[in-house]
A and B are shown apart, each in its own frame.
Chain A
Amino acid sequence: MPIQCKSKKNDKTYDVVIVGSGAGGGMTARILAENGLNIAIVEAGPWFDPQNKEEKTQLRWPYESPRRGASTTRPFGDYNAAFGGWELPNEPYSTVGDTRFEWFRSRMLGGRTNHWGRISLRFGPDDFHRKDLDGLGTNWPITYDEIKPYYDRVDKMIGVTGTNEGLHNDPDGFFLPPPKPRLSELMYTEAAKKSGVPVYPSRMSILTKKLNDDRGVCFYCAQCSRSCAVYADFSAGSCLIFPAQKAGKGQVDILVNCMAREVMTDESGKATAVSYVSKDDRREYEIKGKVIVLAASACETARLLMNSRMKGQTEGLGNSSGTLGRYLHDSTGANAAAFIPSLMDRKRYNEDGVGGMHVYTPWWLDNKKLDFPRGYHIEMGGTMGMPMYGFGGGHQAIQKILNYKVGGYGNPLLEEMKSVYGAVFYMAGRGESVALYDNYCEIDPNSVDEWGIPTLRFHYNWTDNERLQAKHMQETFRGILTDMGGEILSPEYTYEQDYGLLAPGAIIHEVGTARMGDDPKDSVTNKYGRLHDVPNVYVNDAGSFTSQADKNPTWTIMALAMRNSEHIVSELKKMNI
């Protein structure tokens, strides 16, 4: 069990103090603990273990919630295992002018890994040097070949479904066998292939087969977003933090409900400690470490550095380049849905399956022949899923398609709804945006949160790079949905409506705020996530990404955190830190 801020006055100096317990912090903790280091984790939220019967939401029925699972307090519904959302009470943020950014935060052990989509795509060779290919953005200081061994180890340590297809930029790995597609996914596969859009078994960090003795095997409830009680999906708590505690080599102290405020530095410019406020008594404490690892999420890590003061620097710790907070970028997202009449009156059977899609479409085209520079992958689905709050809400649109009288009541209406159950199919594109200097977060001089910590202000605009990509998504989706025999339910978006692009931050893949690079003048960390300015501070979350790919960031966060952590072990051994 965790130490919950018991160490009021703690004079111990840990080998490493880690801020954050998500994908980056969790992997760091596990690697360091397995190497026998003494570490402390500072986590802003409460302890969470989905195996705990009181805490788990998995397998609960909609009627167990007084709001039937509505999203009043959690944007993905009452049973979603990520406490938090785009708004947190008493922890505000703002945006500059009419720019937009939505910042999803989850304060809890494991952070946002408790609810994510488990879509686990390693970056490909092209993704590390896009500038060479299209002249935009910046190349990473590392290549795919350098990080490939770490991806391979993450595959084997965490588990991911998939198939080796020999694709150039969606590389092979060490996959668990994928589940068979659902009915609507077979229909999608047929329709997509007609348009030359390839479809492959999905790559999800879900255990369809036993991986080790500590974790169970998927029992197909489709509820990964509730965090799995048998640990059959990847959450940082169950797959990284708990094994770190069990490693039994080094000491692992976990301070929960402790909100990090700043990194403390000494006269020589070395970091010495993390200062934090305990949420239990609202008092300030310090925890000392020889090395400080920040893994609080891209924007929270940038905020922490900006709020840290160092002699001779006014713009925050590690920011001599002026790029801290800059190059913030999220995945693009646009969606479309259709009603599929041939799926009316379906035979009932349990098609819950794994949490999310059983097939997916990686980026399949050459951007040189298109009017936008970067690609996207396609997610999709449509099942006879568990009815939750909202059920029946879209029925009138379907009545219009079927030329039924719109509205109604009584048993005829109920029969209609029963008949179209499981007949709606959606498609979603998740694409790469181009990182820009002018998309950034910074400290808002006029605002603090309830812990007295200065808050963030965002400045973010999409450009035609993203808009034209979203236009391509919409055209592709409408074509495939129509080929499936579908009647489109989504509106047709215009250029002025960004072709349905969701707001920056909505996809929760934000990266780039403390990007890595070889040149200290235009990057925050080196290729091991180590601050150019402060030798014993590392960034082990997506803040260090030079660019996002058309992939989800989690697998790369973990591969980099693993690599950075082994670098820390080696540097400590060599007495270089």
Chain B
Amino acid sequence: MDRRKTLKTLLGGAVGTALFTQVGCKEGGDPVPASAGPELETRGYGLRTAWEAEREERINDRRFFSDFELETIGVLADIIVPAGEDHPKATDVEPSLLEFIEFMAKDQPDVYQVRLRGGLAWLNAESSQRYAGKAFIEATPEEQLALVDDIAYELPEEEEATSPLRTGVDFFDRLRFLVVTGFFTSREGIAYLGYVGNQPNVWEGVPQDVLDKHGVQYDPELLPKYVDQEQRTVTAEWDDRGNLIT
């Protein structure tokens, strides 16, 4: 991972940049507290209430992970989502996956903060003990993978309560979720998955080859009742008994 790029992305993006016009204070300094009610300028993903916008401003005004922690997350993220034939590695997708993880740690602090920060500390302690004092990012790629292999799989039930690895397994599970969900909701992840919707179109039903493959078909009796897409722009009219006549 390009360390400089990661930090630049984070510092230039989410951290320290006021993205909102001032809220909670009207022109002229009248200190009317903002509430869930009045609307505010949009940030670019649809209308946010003042409460939501203020909250997001607070999130973006501070930073949770240290550079060292973020760099470690970046190395792990690229192990979870390495480059493939048809997709880039985690730290190369757009928008930044690390920025998303930093945001979520502050957006849902109870879910993420202690688990991720504590897990990173556990990981470095484990790495240090195994590999002569080296932090996880200082270990060789082989050493890193050996450690990851130990925490990347669910523990057998009988070991769950007592295994010394359980903190690591729990941490990796949580981080893997964020990396995977962040990847599949990025431009490149969506393309890799093959989701082709989210655009105006006309639904014509399931393609015939798909019907054939799955051994299902449309009921011929119902076919005339379904929308005739050729007539969709003709204004609906009914007879007195509710039969559509256009």
Q: Which residues of A contact B (CB under 8 A)?
A: 44-48, 52, 54-57, 59-70, 72-73, 78-79, 81, 83-84, 88-91, 107, 152, 156, 159, 161, 163-164, 172-183, 186-187, 190, 201, 208-212, 217, 219-222, 226, 257, 259, 279-282, 342-343, 346-354, 384-393, 395-396, 405-411, 413-414, 417-418, 421, 450
Query: Which residues 214-246 in B have Cβ within 8 Å of A in the complex?
Result: 214, 216-218, 222, 225-228, 231-236, 238, 242-244, 246
User: Is the CB–CB distance between B46 and A409 below 8 Å?
Assistant: no
**B 149-167 contacts with A by CB, 8 A:** 152-154
14 additional contacts, CB 8 Å, given A178-B227, A417-B184?
Answer: A59-B199, A161-B227, A180-B205, A180-B226, A186-B214, A209-B246, A347-B209, A351-B197, A387-B189, A389-B185, A392-B181, A393-B181, A406-B154, A417-B180
Contacting A at CB under 8 A, from B103-160, are: 103-104, 107-108, 148, 152-154
Please give, as numbers and ranges, the residues of chain B lying within 8 Å of A68 by CB-CB distance. 100, 181-182, 185
Inter-chain contact A407/B154, CB cutoff 8 Å: yes
Which of B1-9, B66-74, B75-83 participates in binding chain A?
B75-83
Nearest 4 interchain pairs by C-beta? A57-B46, A180-B205, A407-B153, A219-B200
CB nearest to B49 among chain A residues: A83
Instruction: With CB as the reference atom, state the residue of chain A lying closest to B104.
Output: A67
Q: Is the CB of B32 within 8 A of A349?
A: no
Beyond A352-B198, A386-B195, whether A408 also contacts B35 by CB under 8 A is no
Q: Which residues does chain B contribute within 8 Å of A226, judged by CB atoms?
A: 46
Interface residues of B (CB under 8 A from A): 14, 32, 35-39, 41-42, 44-47, 49, 51-52, 55-56, 79-82, 84, 87, 94-95, 99-100, 103-104, 107-108, 148, 152-154, 169, 172-173, 176-177, 180-187, 189-190, 192-207, 209-211, 213-214, 216-218, 222, 225-228, 231-236, 238, 242-244, 246
Contact B206 A221 (CB under 8 A): no
Q: Contacts A89-B51, A384-B195, A392-B180; is A180 near B203 (CB within 8 Å)?
A: yes
Give the complex CA separation of A55 and B181 in angstroms: 26
Partner of B153, one of A70, A220, A353, A406: A406
Residues on A with beta carbons closer than 8 Å to the beta carbon of B172: 407
Q: Which of B197, B211, B225 touches A163 (beta carbons < 8 Å)?
A: B225
20 cross-chain CB contacts under 8 A:
A66-B103, A78-B46, A83-B47, A83-B49, A90-B36, A91-B36, A177-B225, A209-B231, A219-B202, A220-B202, A220-B203, A226-B46, A279-B38, A384-B194, A387-B189, A395-B180, A406-B154, A407-B154, A413-B180, A450-B35
Known A220-B203, A410-B80: A156·B153 in contact at CB below 8 Å: no
Q: A65-B45, A209-B232, A410-B80 are in contact. Are A348 and B196 (CB under 8 A)?
A: yes
Q: Are B232 and A396 interface neighbours, CB within 8 A?
A: no
Contacts of B94 in A (CB 8 A): 63
Q: B148 and A409: CB pair below 8 A?
A: yes
B228 CB contacts on chain A under 8 angstroms: 177
Complex: A183 Cα to B205 Cα, angstroms: 8
How many Å from the CB of A239 to the closest CB on chain B?
Answer: 15
| B39, B107, B199, B243, most chain A CB atoms within 10 A | B39
